[in-house]
């Protein structure tokens, strides 16, 4: 079973659902996608180096689709980690504003 693939896609789906549930509208903002592009550029540099020289993936756990040396699943995990962090931040920031 492709556990890494499954977890990567589930985490990305959870990130999207959290944005909808908390009504932050993050995924509708242009600046979010610009920020994501910057993050992914650095990901290409750092993760590209790591996955070419240091970190090796067991082929039975991922799809074997790579962008350079980086497995596709790494991008989904990166998307979900960044998105969940910002969604939670925006949610609590809005909640704090409504209290004032």
- Chain segment 15-34, per-residue pLDDT in tens: 999 999 999 999 999 999 99
Which residue, 38, 26, 20, 21, is CA-closest to 89? 26
Q: What angle do CA 49, 55, 58 make, to 5 degrees?
A: 135
How far apart CA 29 and CA 22 sit, in angstroms, is 15
Its domain, for residue 50, covers: 3-99
How far apart CA 80 and CA 9 sit, in angstroms, is 9
Q: What is the pTM of this model?
A: 0.88
Average pLDDT across the chain, whole number: 94
Q: Please say if the pLDDT value at position 88 is more than 80.
A: yes
Q: In 3-state terms, what secondary structure has residue 71?
A: strand
The domain tally of the chain equals 1
Percent of the chain with pLDDT over 90: 82
């Amino acid at each position: 079973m492709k556990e890494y693939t499954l977890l990567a896609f589930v985490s990305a789906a959870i990130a999207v659902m959290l944005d909808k549930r908390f009504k932050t509208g993050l995924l509708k903002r242009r600046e979010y996608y610009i920020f994501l592009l910057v993050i992914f550029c650095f990901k290409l540099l750092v993760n590209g180096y790591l996955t070419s020289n240091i970190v090796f993936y067991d082929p039975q756990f991922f799809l074997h689709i790579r962008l350079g040396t980086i497995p596709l699943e790494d991008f989904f995990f990166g998307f979900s980690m960044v998105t969940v962090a910002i969604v939670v931040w925006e949610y609590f920031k809005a909640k704090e504003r409504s209290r004032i």
